[in-house]
């Protein structure tokens, strides 16, 4: 790795556009918390300089460590001398990183840690990804989509679908577990869908998988690894009404743990689903880590897993800054199982960076 690395970390300051009538909600704070964690940890690594909007940001604060992902914010990061842009934000096809001609002079030598904006816009659509994966033979739960319209008689439509209760209702373009609810009755489902329709014209209903939930972080190819590969699988527990709670409410260390090698050896289903998750990342051609959430169809050990969510931007909070000792992420927990601390995980991610031109040129896989 070059000894002259200068990194600017971006946070979300631009609201994503409405895509096919669906708006992905912004994260409060725009990922400045994890951006500050990333910047603070990276500066501890040798031969890396972190560029910030102002001098000497306060380690106990999440502000001051990152640049906004606006045109002027990104240009400021580039003009500060960044060799690398860490895109800790939500990307989409019209994002300035993809579209701004002012960045053209930088695109062949500045490298980016993040996903291709054109891929993210498409793959953030859960219906699209599910249909794509299903068409390629991956294991998924049953799902249905509903689109709001003046002529829609929601109660009648739901009765016609003859859905298996309980059933999960969730946004097409969601963020974490926001808007995800397990509904036990027609009345409860109708109320939840009506609420979801306020922010999204299309929503998804999904077969409830009652068994063990796990998550698999898949790492992209890098200067250290020729192909996609997975960190150890993490199992989730202590669900809230059938759904794993958002990490901002319950720390993942309180409801998650790494599956041991002994457990892996006793149940081949773990190995099967890890392979599926790696194949998902390879199919989608991602350029940064993704986290695939999976769950068994039934409660017993040995039950088959299904893939139910591919997260293009896994949570990347981590310990290091004062007061952040319990801020491990699911990806960080998996990395710790192979002996990596938070800084070592970030260094691996840094080694997968590609040039801005390469990122811009990547196009989605057609079905």
The predicted-structure confidence for 192-224, as pLDDT tens digits, reads as follows 999 999 888 899 999 999 999 999 999 999 988
Length of the chain: 367
| Topology (CATH) of 156-207 | Dna Ligase; domain 1 (3.30.1490)
Whole-number Å distance between alpha carbons of 108 and 277: 31
| Start-to-end CA span in the chain (Å) | 36
The predicted-structure confidence for 269-296, as pLDDT tens digits, reads as follows 999 999 999 999 999 999 999 999 999 9
The predicted-structure confidence for 69-98, as pLDDT tens digits, reads as follows 999 999 999 999 999 999 999 999 999 999
Whole-number Å distance between alpha carbons of 69 and 15: 10
Whole-number Å distance between alpha carbons of 326 and 303: 32
**Domain ranges across the chain:** 5-121+355-361, 123-137+210-341, 156-207
Cβ distance 24 to 124 under 8 Å? yes
User: Can you read off the two tokens belonging to residue 64?
Assistant: 């001051």
pLDDT of residue 20: 79
Specify the long-range contacts of residues 54-59, CB closer than 8 Å, at least 24 apart.
Answer: 59/321, 59/322
What average pLDDT does the chain have?
93
The predicted-structure confidence for 60-76, as pLDDT tens digits, reads as follows 999 999 999 999 999 99
pLDDT of residue 49: 96
Question: Phi first, then psi: what are they for 281, rounded to 5°?
Answer: -60, -40
Q: What is the pTM of this model?
A: 0.93
- C-alpha R_g of the chain: 20
Stretch 330-353: mean pLDDT, rounded? 96
Percent of the chain at pLDDT > 70 equals: 96
Whether the predicted pLDDT of 365 surpasses 70: no
Asked, colleague to colleague, whether 123-137+210-341 and 156-207 share their fold, the answer is no
pLDDT band for 247, please (50, 70, 90 cuts).
Answer: low
pLDDT band for 26, please (50, 70, 90 cuts).
Answer: confident
pLDDT band for 137, please (50, 70, 90 cuts).
Answer: very high
Question: Which architecture, in CATH terms, is 123-137+210-341?
Answer: 2-Layer Sandwich (3.30)
């Amino acid at each position: 790795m070059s000894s002259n690395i200068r990194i600017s970390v971006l946070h979300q300051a631009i609201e994503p556009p409405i895509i096919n009538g669906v708006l992905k909600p912004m994260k409060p704070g725009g990922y400045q918390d994890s951006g500050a964690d990333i910047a603070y940890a990276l500066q501890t690594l040798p031969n890396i300089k972190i560029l910030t909007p102002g001098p000497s940001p306060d380690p106990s604060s999440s502000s001051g460590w990152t640049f906004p992902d606006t045109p002027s914010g990104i240009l400021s990061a580039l003009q500060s001398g960044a060799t690398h842009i860490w895109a800790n934000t939500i990307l989409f096809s019209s994002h300035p990183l993809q579209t701004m001609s002012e960045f053209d002079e930088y695109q062949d030598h500045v490298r980016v840690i993040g996903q291709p904006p054109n891929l993210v816009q498409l793959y953030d659509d859960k219906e699209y990804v599910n249909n794509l994966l299903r068409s390629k033979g991956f294991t998924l739960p049953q799902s249905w989509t509903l689109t709001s319209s003046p002529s829609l008689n929601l109660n009648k439509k739901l009765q016609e679908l003859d859905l298996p209760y309980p059933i999960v209702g969730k946004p097409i373009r969601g963020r974490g577990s926001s808007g995800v609810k397990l509904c036990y009755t027609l009345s409860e489902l109708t109320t939840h869908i009506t609420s979801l329709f306020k922010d999204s014209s299309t929503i998804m209903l999904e077969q409830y998988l009652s068994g063990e939930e796990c998550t698999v972080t898949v790492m992209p190819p890098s200067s250290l690894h020729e192909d996609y590969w997975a960190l150890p699988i993490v199992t989730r527990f202590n669900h809230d009404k059938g759904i794993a709670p958002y990490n901002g409410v319950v720390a993942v260390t309180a409801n998650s743990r790494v599956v041991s090698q002994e457990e892996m050896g006793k149940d081949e289903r773990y190995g099967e689903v890890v392979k599926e998750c790696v194949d998902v990342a390879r199919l989608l051609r991602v350029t940064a880590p993704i986290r695939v959430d999976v769950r068994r169809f039934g409660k017993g050990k040995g039950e088959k897993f299904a893939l139910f969510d591919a997260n293009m931007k896994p949570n990347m909070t981590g310990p290091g800054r004062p007061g952040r000792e319990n801020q491990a992420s699911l990806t960080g927990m998996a990395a710790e199982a192979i002996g990596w601390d938070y800084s070592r995980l970030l260094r691996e991610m840094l080694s997968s960076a590609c040039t801005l031109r390469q990122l811009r040129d990547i196009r989605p896989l057609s079905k």
